[in-house]
Amino acid sequence: MELKNVVPWGRSFDEYQEIFSLTNVDLNKSILGCGDGPASFNAELTKRGGNVVSVDPTYEFTAEELQSRIAQVCDEIIPQMIINKDKYVWESIPSVEALGKIRMKAMNEFIADFDAGKLSGRYFHESLPSLSFEGKQFELALCSHYLFLYSEHVNLEQHIASIKELCRVAKEVRIYPLLSLDGEISPHLNEVISSLDAVGLTNSLVDVGYQFQKGATQMLVVKSV
């Protein structure tokens, strides 16, 4: 992977909590954040005493490399957000300016935590559909803004293999959003659900309290025990 092809953009702990309807009971579980990138979920949950491990292909880079790339992409993403403003709900995040501040705060928290977190085994350079963890090592796996969102780049087989892999390593998996980048329901969703049903993985679409991308109001929950 080349650094110039990486587009780091990460959400905050508060957003993850809303996105995945995380209760205090959930936050006390052993959690895998898959595709966490520069989100601050791991840094903030760790500060609160939680037990969380994050994986992402971009964790092969150093904190300095990621930080310089974040500064570059922020200058590219913010003008894009202004152009695409109508595709988002501007309520809890009231403006593009506020969005930039919230995202930069989250990503700075991630950068400040990255070296220490890597040393203590909280950040691993790994990629779906194959993870190194043991069977049911985690109680809960979360996947925010990777599966389904990038349906144009990640095909159906990769979706199915990735979700089965998450179910191998965690007792419960939550994935959000179910829309792809064009704002439509992912073309893979129905077939993913059929293949989970076929192997007996209980799954449901669950409403969440978070909505930023218009129409992204549900997560997929898969239980493997």
Ligand X SMILES: C[S@@+](CC[C@H](N)C(=O)[O-])C[C@H]1O[C@@H](n2cnc3c(N)ncnc32)[C@H](O)[C@@H]1O
Binding characters for ligand X, 179-218, by CB under 6 A (x = yes): ----------------------------------------
Name the minimum Å distance from CB 131 to ligand X: 9
Q: Is 40 in the site for ligand X (CB under 6 A)?
A: no
Nearest to 169 by CA among 23, 19, 34: 34
Q: Is 44 in the site for ligand X (CB under 6 A)?
A: no
Contacts of 25 (CB under 8 A, 6+ apart): none
Per-residue DSSP letter, 186: P
Nearest to 200 by CA among 172, 166, 225: 225
Q: Which one of 66, 128, 163, 175 is in contact with ligand X (CB under 6 A)?
A: 128
Name the minimum Å distance from CB 46 to ligand X: 16
Q: Is 58 in the site for ligand X (CB under 6 A)?
A: yes
Q: Is 175 in the site for ligand X (CB under 6 A)?
A: no
Q: Is 144 in the site for ligand X (CB under 6 A)?
A: yes
Structure tokens at 172: 């419960």
Name the residue whose CB lies closest to ligand X: 37
Nearest to 148 by CA among 35, 11, 31, 30: 35
Residue type present at position 35: G
Q: Which one of 27, 32, 39, 196 is in contact with ligand X (CB under 6 A)?
A: 39
Q: Is 9 in the site for ligand X (CB under 6 A)?
A: yes
Site for ligand X in 11-30 (CB under 6 A): 11
Query: CA 173 to CA 33: how far, in whole Å?
Result: 10
Nearest to 170 by CA among 198, 126, 124, 201: 201
Judged by the rule CB under 6 A, the positions of this chain that interact with ligand X are 9-11, 34-37, 39, 56-58, 127-128, 144-146
